[in-house]
């Protein structure tokens, strides 16, 4: 099953309606949306799909960058759906998507291989969901990383 841009944007808009929903529910849904977006692209990264290879070649990091990104996305996907580690998964996810968004804006372009900007929009949605979790669970991340005494 693959979600289109309109479905992802609908879920995102639904998430930002904080005042009418339980905060923990919103953060859990945001985590599942982010994990779904990451997991959906893993097949392409790990199998060497031509579009994925072309994208990472354009970035100058093929194949190691593609594999490393896939591994980090897999780890972030697992961490972000587990309540006790969701802040760490969101931290990884936000970092990855910051790089993805910057890559699209500076090197790859928004419309990648004629996708109409779908990958770029997915990166923005995944970043926004990760940032939402991270913002609301920053104290937990500090404890996990032992930054707070």
Lowest-confidence region among 41-50, 59-68, 80-89, 135-144: 135-144
- Of the chain, the percentage scoring pLDDT greater than 70 comes to 84
Q: Is residue 14 part of a domain?
A: no
Nearest to 125 by CA among 2, 16, 43: 16
Q: Is residue 148 part of a domain?
A: no
Tokens of 120: 């770029």
Q: 47 lies in which domain range? A: 5-9+23-142
Q: Is residue 131 part of a domain?
A: yes
Residue 127 to residue 79: CA distance in whole angstroms: 15
Predicted confidence band of residue 16 (pLDDT cuts 50, 70, 90) = low
How far are the Cα atoms of 10, 14, 43, 92, 135 from residue 99, in angstroms, in the given order?
24, 26, 20, 11, 19
pLDDT of residue 105: 96
Q: How many domains does the chain have?
A: 1
Nearest to 13 by CA among 130, 128, 131: 128
- Greatest Cα pair distance, the chain, in angstroms, is 50
Tokens of 52: 């994925």
Q: Is residue 149 part of a domain?
A: no
Mean pLDDT (the chain, rounded): 88
Predicted confidence band of residue 1 (pLDDT cuts 50, 70, 90) = very low
Q: Is residue 77 part of a domain?
A: yes
- Of the chain, the percentage scoring pLDDT greater than 90 comes to 69
Lowest-confidence region among 10-24, 69-83, 135-149: 10-24
Nearby residues of 131 by Cβ (< 8 Å), 6 or more positions away: 90, 94
Q: Is the pLDDT of residue 140 over 90?
A: no
pTM: 0.84
pLDDT of residue 138: 87
User: Do 54 and 113 contact (CB within 8 A), yes or no?
Assistant: yes
């Amino acid at each position: 099953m693959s979600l289109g841009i309109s479905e992802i944007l609908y879920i995102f808009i639904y998430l930002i309606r904080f005042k009418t929903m339980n905060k923990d529910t919103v953060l859990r849904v945001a985590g599942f949306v982010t994990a779904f977006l990451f997991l959906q692209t893993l097949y392409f990264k790990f199998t060497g799909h031509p579009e994925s290879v072309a994208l990472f070649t354009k970035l100058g990091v093929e194949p190691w960058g593609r594999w490393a990104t896939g591994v980090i996305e897999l780890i972030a996907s697992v961490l972000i759906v587990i309540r006790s580690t969701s802040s760490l998964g969101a931290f990884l996810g936000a970092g990855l998507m910051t790089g993805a968004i910057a890559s699209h804006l500076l090197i790859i372009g928004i419309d990648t291989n004629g996708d109409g900007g779908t990958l770029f929009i997915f990166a923005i949605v995944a970043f926004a969901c990760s940032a939402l979790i991270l913002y609301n669970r920053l104290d937990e991340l500090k404890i996990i990383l032992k930054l707070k005494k």
